[in-house]
Structure 1
Amino acid sequence: MTSDISPHDPNVAAARHDPVYDELHASPEFAELKRRYRGFAFPATAAFLAWYLTYVVLSMWATGFMSTKVVGNINVALVLGLLQFATTFLLAWLYSSYSTKKLDPLARELDERFVSLAGKASHGRSEH
């Protein structure tokens, strides 16, 4: 799949040096949005990677424990492996909920401000 956006496109280059974006990027609200995102994403990623690596380590070096039967032919390895899927879906749901409550309102506010400032800036340029 290819993207229609080329880094050599003059519009993309202009967007990288947009004074309206630069102003918003420097705002305390943008810094807060980044802080909130990182406050969820970094710990959640670290926790999930630790959980995943624990599973891998147990599979490699604790084969006796992992082969312990839980019910019938279902062993600890299968249960923990299935819990990896459950954890993934739980994490996606938690992020969606967190984003809806904490990130989206601030992102919408910044987007509205960007549109407003960009509109004013384009009117100023067209009058010259």
Structure 2
Amino acid sequence: MVDWDGIERSEEFRELVKKRRSFVVPATIFFLAYYMAFIIVAGYAPDFMGESVYEGLTVGYCYALTQFVMVFVLGIWYLRKAEKEFDPLSDAVAAAGVADEETGRFERGEPRQEVAR
């Protein structure tokens, strides 16, 4: 039986969570800011968004299309980072959990009490 609480307290798991969070939080903030900026500019500067860039292609369409590109780039970036950093760390966490089941590195805390409903 795997001690999930022990794994959660382990250094390997904490490092994994820290590294993943250090990528996901800024990427999410960037994505939301980029998207909200589009909505704000569309609402407050419709003339600017309606300016033609090339034969009917407007600034607004270009901005909207760059959002698809941005999501694609962020997705690919996350996948590459996961492959290089997060997956090896998660493998280390899993290996530590299996190995520690045999060696007893993770000590079980107090058993959780079931709450009667």
Q: TM-score, normalised by structure 1?
A: 0.75
Residue 62 of structure 2 corresponds to residue 46 of structure 1: no
**Structure 1 segments unaligned to the other structure (5+ residues):** 1-17, 122-128
1:86-107 deviations in Å (ceiling 9; x for gaps):
0000000000011111111010
- Map 1:32-111 onto structure 2 (within 5 A): 32-111=15-94
Q: TM-score, normalised by structure 2?
A: 0.82
The one-letter code matched in structure 1 to 2:66 is L
The one-letter code matched in structure 2 to 1:43 is P
Q: Which protein has greater RCO, CA pairs closer than 8 Å, 6+ apart?
A: 2
Which structure has the highest helix share of the two? 1
Contact (CA 8 Å) 2:2, 2:97: kept in 1 or not? Answer: no
The one-letter code matched in structure 1 to 2:97 is F
| Residue aligning to 1:10 | none
CA distance in 1, matches of 2:102, 2:71: 41
The one-letter code matched in structure 1 to 2:25 is F
The one-letter code matched in structure 2 to 1:39 is S
Give the Å deviation of 1:118: 4.2
Aligned residues: 104
Residue 6 of structure 2 corresponds to residue 23 of structure 1: yes
CA distance in 1, matches of 2:85, 2:33: 25
**Structure 2 segments unaligned to the other structure (5+ residues):** 105-117
CA distance in 1, matches of 2:89, 2:3: 17
Percent identical: 30
